[in-house]
Amino acid sequence: MDGRGCSERLLMRLPDWLKRSKDLKALRGLKLKLRHGGLSTVCEEARCPNIAECFCRPTATFLLLGDVCTRSCRFCAVHKGTPSPLDVEEPSLVAKAARDIGLTHVVLTSVTRDDLPDKGARGFASALSEIGKLLPGATREVLTPDFAGRRDLLETVLEERPDVLGHNVETVERLYESIRPGASLKRSLSLLRLARDISRDVIVKSGFMVGLGESEKEIKDLLLELRDAGCDCVTIGQYLQPTRAQIPVSAYWEPRRFEAWSELAKSTGIRYVVAGPLVRSSYHSKEVLEEIRASLDAPTSACTKE
């Protein structure tokens, strides 16, 4: 199915299934707590459409290593440029904020820091360690950059035994050169494979967006590659243009298409799939982790969320 004609009509108006209401009071409350600690969340920086729902639960994905990225993906609203030196207090500030907010599942992600010798791996490890000390009962999930594909850096993170190691491939291989300069699908797949190889216990997770100009065949090929890389869980969501500075949406896919991709992913052998127009890699990640844990002992399962 070609969504281009559809997208040209729908770009005038956001489809109903992508609209969200906001509890502004709860949203402001959590934002104030985060500002008090001088912290950033990817929920705000990337203008996530689920921010109101997540902040009200409460749940948040902390953005480590500053808020300036050394890469320039054309779909991403995070600031690009030359980052500031690392804040050595960041790991303990994140752990304290997670405790104060009352999180029972903490998700950590970061900008890409190609400028750092360790690409930021020790920042992830320190934050995991601090959270483990302050919130011993909390589950911990990381969504990492590609660490230049280096095994030693991935080991640094996995030594802290996160429950989930996520790394998003974001899109199909053909689009990397034009919209994801500096990244490589092969390197990302290799990182996921390394994670599977280093730890049999960690849940390996990846995700990508549709609506960037990919074809059905490319989606299927990507799912097969993610299966071969050893992914336990794949998320599929609709790309939404965060601001006019990012590339436009090529197509708004209807919810039933996500159900079809869930089934397709399941048929390739991927054990757990979360697919839906508003699905993002950290969306309902606590519940997803619990369901994955339960499903890993059961037959293959898939889940489609709107």
Q: Where do contacts with ligand SF4 occur on this chain (CB under 6 A)?
A: 69, 71-73, 76, 78, 111-112
Q: How far is the CB of 111 from ligand SF4 (least distance, A)?
A: 5
Question: Which is nearer to ligand SF4, 242 or 255 (by Cβ)?
Answer: 242
The helix (H) or strand (E) run that includes residue 192 is helix 185-198
Q: How far is the CB of 12 from ligand SF4 (least distance, A)?
A: 27
In whole angstroms, how far apart are CA 226 and each of 55, 162, 191, 194, 250?
A: 30, 20, 11, 13, 23
Q: How far is the CB of 102 from ligand SF4 (least distance, A)?
A: 27
Distance in angstroms (rounded) separating the CA atoms of residues 3 and 275: 18
Provide the token pair at 40.
């950033």
Task: Indicate the SS3 state at residue 69.
Answer: strand
Question: Which is nearer to ligand SF4, 144 or 156 (by Cβ)?
Answer: 144
In whole angstroms, how far apart are CA 155 and each of 30, 165, 198, 212, 253?
A: 33, 11, 7, 32, 38
Distance in angstroms (rounded) separating the CA atoms of residues 187 and 151: 11
Question: Which is nearer to ligand SF4, 239 or 257 (by Cβ)?
Answer: 239
Q: How far is the CB of 99 from ligand SF4 (least distance, A)?
A: 26
Q: How far is the CB of 183 from ligand SF4 (least distance, A)?
A: 7
Q: How many separate helices (H) and strands (E) can be counted in the chain?
A: 12, 11
Question: Which is nearer to ligand SF4, 45 or 163 (by Cβ)?
Answer: 45
Question: Which is nearer to ligand SF4, 47 or 96 (by Cβ)?
Answer: 47
Question: Which is nearer to ligand SF4, 83 or 91 (by Cβ)?
Answer: 83
Distance in angstroms (rounded) separating the CA atoms of residues 119 and 108: 15
Q: How far is the CB of 219 from ligand SF4 (least distance, A)?
A: 19
Question: Which is nearer to ligand SF4, 66 or 276 (by Cβ)?
Answer: 66
Residue with tokens 């089934």: 263
Q: How far is the CB of 212 from ligand SF4 (least distance, A)?
A: 12
In whole angstroms, how far apart are CA 224 and each of 129, 230, 270?
A: 34, 10, 8
Task: Determine how many CB atoms are found less than 10 A away from the CB of residue 94.
Answer: 26
